[in-house]
């Protein structure tokens, strides 16, 4: 069967990435699938991220392969050396990607904390436990000017996060980038909450954790990055910050259902933190990579 692949104009351009899009349609111009290819910069100029969907009734007819070929050609044209894509374990995508030459490079474990099940007393005990030499601070939205430089510098904590065999690169963070990221969350109507651990000796930020809550305060919030700089590890800061983030969400958003998090399977330390705070595993997603 013949399908037509039409390039689309995609407005979802970020400060440090842009996205290409295609629509697959049949002989009657009925849409049957889509593909999106995000092209990164700022330390990830080698990487393209693919999202591909085919209507269930149109699968196994070559639609996905045509969309994939189009996206891969665009990645090559943009001098990318690899294309990454994710699929839930056992899904059609989990079978499609390796059959098309992708190799599995990362396993992500997803978990959810039902806020109705939060033990406020146990959470308070974690937060109130002394952490000599450190104090917590937090803000909503864009980082305050007096902490902006230290916050950007603290993103170095993510440089060595376990990524298994992924060709992830090192993301270059500066003040403009952290502000742009917060602005992107605000513009789509969500709320960004950040908790940091501050080194009281010099005022630098030793670690951070970010949580995004839907703008209407319902549904589930999503944890973004959580990291502690190497020189500050071993003091329990990650668990301390995440516990405070949970406490704030629990207190501010009475209609919020839960908090979602995902962690690399090999990141046993962060998985242990989530387990200890009551997060319940939900599903596993596999990341695949095609080397060009």
pLDDT in tens, the chain (292 residues): 678 999 998 766 666 788 999 999 998 899 999 999 999 887 789 999 999 999 999 999 999 999 999 999 999 999 999 999 999 999 999 999 999 999 999 999 999 999 999 999 999 999 999 999 999 999 999 999 999 999 999 999 998 887 778 877 778 889 999 999 999 999 999 999 999 999 999 999 999 999 999 999 999 999 998 999 999 999 999 999 999 999 999 999 999 999 999 999 999 999 999 999 999 999 999 999 999 9
Report the pLDDT value the prediction gives residue 75, as an integer from 0 to 100.
97
Report the pLDDT value the prediction gives residue 170, as an integer from 0 to 100.
78
Cα(168)–Cα(275) distance, rounded to whole angstroms? 26
Q: How far is CA 95 from each of CA 65, 110, 129, rounded to the nearest angstrom?
A: 13, 20, 47
Report the pLDDT value the prediction gives residue 1, as an integer from 0 to 100.
61
Cα(50)–Cα(174) distance, rounded to whole angstroms? 26
Looking at the chain, list the stretches that DSSP marks H as alpha helix, in order from N- to C-terminal side.
63-77, 92-99, 120-128, 145-154, 175-187, 237-252, 268-276
Report the pLDDT value the prediction gives residue 13, as an integer from 0 to 100.
64
Q: What is the pLDDT of residues 235-292, one digit of tens each?
A: 999 999 999 999 999 999 999 999 999 999 999 999 999 999 999 999 999 999 999 9
Q: Which fold has domain 4-80?
A: Aminopeptidase (3.40.630)
Query: What are the start and end residues of each CATH 3.40.630.30 domain in the chain?
Result: 4-80, 110-284
Q: What is the pLDDT of residues 208-246, one digit of tens each?
A: 999 999 999 999 999 998 999 999 999 999 999 999 999
Q: Where are the beta strands (DSSP E) in 158-254?
A: 191-199, 205-213, 219-228
CATH number of 110-284: 3.40.630.30
User: b or e along 28-63 (b: 16 or more beta carbons within 10 Å of the residue's beta carbon)?
Assistant: eeeebbbbbbbbbeeebeebbbbebebeeebeeeeb
Report the pLDDT value the prediction gives residue 171, as an integer from 0 to 100.
82
Return the structure tokens found at 76.
């090559």
């Amino acid at each position: 069967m013949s399908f037509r692949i039409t390039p689309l104009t995609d407005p979802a351009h970020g400060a440090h990435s842009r996205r290409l899009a295609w629509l697959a349609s049949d002989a009657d111009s009925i849409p049957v699938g889509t593909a999106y290819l995000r092209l990164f910069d700022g330390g990830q100029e080698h990487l393209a991220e693919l999202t591909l969907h085919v209507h269930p009734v149109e699968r196994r007819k070559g639609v996905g392969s045509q969309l994939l070929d189009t996206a891969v050609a665009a990645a090559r044209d943009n001098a990318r050396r690899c294309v990454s894509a994710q699929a839930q374990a056992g899904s059609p995508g989990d079978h499609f990607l390796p059959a098309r030459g992708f190799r599995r490079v990362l396993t992500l474990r997803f978990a959810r904390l039902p806020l109705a099940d939060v033990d406020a007393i146990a959470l308070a005990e974690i937060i109130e436990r002394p952490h000599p030499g450190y104090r917590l601070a937090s803000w909503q939205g864009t980082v305050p000017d007096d902490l902006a430089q230290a916050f950007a510098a603290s993103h170095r904590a993510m440089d060595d996060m376990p990524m298994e065999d992924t060709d992830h690169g090192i993301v270059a963070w500066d003040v403009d980038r952290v502000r742009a990221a917060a602005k992107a969350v605000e513009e789509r109507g969500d709320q960004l909450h950040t908790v940091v651990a501050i080194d009281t000796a010099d005022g630098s930020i030793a670690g951070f954790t970010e949580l995004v809550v839907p703008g209407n305060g319902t549904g589930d919030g999503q944890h973004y990055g959580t990291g502690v700089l190497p020189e500050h590890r071993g003091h329990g800061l990650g668990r301390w910050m995440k516990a405070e983030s949970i406490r704030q969400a629990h207190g501010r958003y009475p209609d919020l259902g839960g908090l979602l998090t995902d962690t690399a399977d090999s990141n046993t330390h962060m998985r242990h933190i989530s387990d200890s705070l009551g997060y319940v595993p939900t599903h596993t997603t596999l990341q695949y990579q095609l080397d060009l």
